[in-house]
Amino acid sequence: MTVTPAVKAPPRTPIPATGPGTVPALSISGLRTSFGDRTVLHDVDLDVHAGEVVGILGSNGSGKSTMLRCVVGLTPVDAGTITVTGGPKEGHVSKASMVFQQIHLVGRRSVLDNVCAGALGRLSLRQSWSTLAFGRELREEAMGCLDRVGLADRAHDRADRLSGGQQQRVAIARALCQRAPVLLADEPVSALDPASAVTVMELLQSLASDGIAVAAVLHQPDLARRHCHRIVGLEQGRITFSCAAFDLDDDTVTALYKPAPLDGSL
pLDDT tens, N- to C-terminus, the chain (266 residues): 444 333 344 444 445 555 445 789 999 999 999 998 999 999 999 999 999 999 999 999 999 999 999 999 999 999 999 999 865 444 444 589 999 888 889 999 999 999 998 887 665 444 444 445 567 888 899 999 999 999 999 999 999 999 999 999 999 999 999 989 999 999 999 889 999 999 999 999 999 999 999 999 999 999 999 999 999 999 999 999 999 999 999 999 999 998 766 554 33
For residue 161, the 8-state DSSP code is G
Domains of the chain: 26-96+181-256 (3.40.50.300), 105-179 (no CATH)
> Phi, psi (5° rounding) for residue 243?
-150, 160
pLDDT in the model for residue 191 = 84
Yes or no: say if 190 and 219 are a contact pair by the CB < 8 Å rule.
Answer: yes
Amino acid at 181: P
- Taking every pair of C-alpha atoms in the chain, what is the biggest distance, in angstroms? 72
Q: What distance in Å separates the CA atoms of residue 183 and residue 95, rounded to the nearest whole number? A: 9
Output the pLDDT for position 87.
54
pLDDT on residue 259: 74
CA 129 to centroid of chain Cα atoms:
29
Helices 164-176 + 136-148 axis angle, to 10: 130
Residue 245: exposed, middle, or buried by beta-carbon count in 10 A (0-12, 13-18, 19+)?
Answer: buried
The reported pLDDT for the residue numbered 101 is 85
The pLDDT of residue 6: 38
| In 36-75, beta strands by DSSP E | 38-48, 53-57
Instruction: Report the distance separating Cα 214 and Cα 157, nearest Å.
Output: 28
Whether the CB-CB separation of 45 and 234 falls below 8 Å is answered with: no
CB of 108 closer than 8 Å to CB of 220: no
**35 sits in which H/E element:** strand 26-35
DSSP run (H or E) holding 123: none
